[in-house]
Structure 1
């Protein structure tokens, strides 16, 4: 898919909408805006496209009933507000989609559901089954139980991971601006129509947090785009009022809608995307210079001879960081040994280990098939 027209032909699409697009100026839920979005999504679903909606707005929806005038900053109050607001939000979605003869299924996720492999597969099966039954999954982060340590932090990143999880053909990010600009839109910056790759973003100035009721901003959206496009999923970023045009690949005011981000990579195995973007590592292995070159340049498996130190406590199969001697993380991988097994093996060849300890101790510490490189930060 190389342009917006491919979005119109997508068999399965993930649409993410932010809090700012669903709430009024006072922070209350804007039911009319929600219903307008649902009309667009319902038309696409009735036309035959499978739609997954990733929505923010639970905390925003809970603010007014609790008499809050600003988004809560402490975790406990945020969790309580989400608990109140989530019921209201999904009820509105249920009512709105029902007017078009469609059912919705609520799916609440925490980062733990993508950190742990079993949870990830369960979420994938649940979403696949909902789609097979003709249901529109409504996905949100489970703010009620998420802690600071296991939060996605924003639904933009969640949308990208869900897009890969459900094998979407395209992702549409709906926000409070109509496109990506090369600077703050209020400063007369120019709109960027298409992004073919990271090189097109050089010199682009983006800010951090977005609206007062949201947690993201253009920074998190571009991070989400990188995850999606890097795994073969094109993205359109625009405002909620342009949702219909974005999904149909139609122009707005005579020109292309929003910003189209072309896919830059191939589809990767689910576990590799999970390992690269969602896994919380359980420890760190320090590599000598030769092992770093072997892993990074030749993409080979990590052997015991190349490991100089072990940090953390982990079991076989857990995700760990692979770091150079200077602390620079070069890769992530699924380790084949528990942390208490590794120290006696460090620096020793597989031939030596086999001769002394027997078969099984000559295996790779991290197999090449269970390893992803971490891009260098310039």
Structure 2
């Protein structure tokens, strides 16, 4: 089985305070299909608890106060898990075996502590072996620092810890842009590339810079990184039909 990590940006599934069900259902169907047809297991790093919580609380502008961000995250996290599990259930109704999402709320401290990191990795490996889809997010509702952090680097750290073959970063942009054109392949993160940042999206804390930082984490580990538009799907990225491919600096031996 191939193991991949897929990170989904907030703006990919939450638009103007509402769930973009078309994107979500399409993505979860593709993940289910890849498991049963391509023998590819997926670990999902998800975003969207804060904007979903804002919607439930009737807040239109993203709070700047950390405590308010945490409150929104606590209100939105259960909804985030629900919509993903509903999307996998929908995929099951379309003829694919039903997949179960399993929730992981982690912090930087968890990943930085070897003992805690091992517990997370062991849990992920067990769930994947049993046909579950780990749904990983920062524990924004408990740790105020997490509410300010991006999930791009989290996804990269998870991919590194579980020895994933590839990392897919899905968002609302088509890839790394230069002069209004998508750069199809990047084999080195240069200063010139780092200066191309377009800023964070409507709902998120990341931007191109955080995705490039994620690339810096996985490329030396031999992990393939693909970045592109969620509407075009995972396979289009892997087959190099869209998006930007970050070529790893070394080959992995499994």
TM-score (ref. length: structure 1): 0.61
- 2-structure distance, mates of 1:248, 1:266: 17
1:63, distance to aligned residue in structure 2 (A): 1.1
Contact 2:105 2:136 in 1 (8 A): yes
1:106-156 deviation digits (Å, cap 9, x = unpaired): 1111111112121111111111111111111111111111222x6681000
| Structure 2 unmatched runs, 5+ | 93-97
Structure 1 residue 190: Cα displacement? 2.5
Alignment of 1:1-378 (within 5 A): 11-24=2-15, 26-47=16-37, 48-99=39-90, 100=92, 101-148=98-145, 153-182=149-178, 188-199=179-190, 202=192, 205-207=195-197, 209-246=199-236, 248-249=238-239, 251=241, 257-265=242-250
Identify if the C-alpha distance between structure 1 residues 152 and 122 changes in structure 2 by more than 3 Å, giving closer, same or farther: farther
**Is residue 194–residue 260 contact of structure 1 (8 Å, CA) maintained in 2?**
yes
Q: Is the contact made by 1:127 and 1:137 (CA closer than 8 Å) also made in structure 2?
A: yes
Higher helix share: 2
Q: Given the superposition, is the C-alpha separation of residues 13 and 162 from structure 1 closer, same or farther in structure 2, using an over 3 Å criterion?
A: same
In 2, are the aligned partners of 1:97 and 1:103 still within 8 Å (CA)?
Answer: yes
Aligned residues: 246
Q: 1:151 to 1:164 in 2, by over 3 A?
A: farther
1:13 Cα deviation (Å)?
0.7
State the alpha-carbon separation in 2 of the partners of residues 152 and 116 from structure 1.
20
Per-residue deviation, 1:244? 3.6
Between structure 1 and structure 2, the one with the greater Rg is 1
Q: C-alpha separation between the residues in 1 aligned to 2:86 and 2:249?
A: 38
Distance 2:249 2:240 in 1: 23
Unmatched runs of 5 consecutive residues or more in structure 1: 1-9, 183-187, 252-256, 269-378
* Counterpart position of 2:95: none
Q: TM-score, normalised by structure 2?
A: 0.90
Conserved? CA contact 2:103–2:134, under 8 Å = yes
SS of 1:72 mapped into structure 2 = coil
Rounded Cα–Cα distance in structure 1 between residues aligned with 2:7 and 2:77: 16
Structure 1 consecutive aligned stretches of length 4 or more whose deviation exceeds 4 Å: none
| TM-aligned CA deviation for residue 248 of structure 1 | 4.8
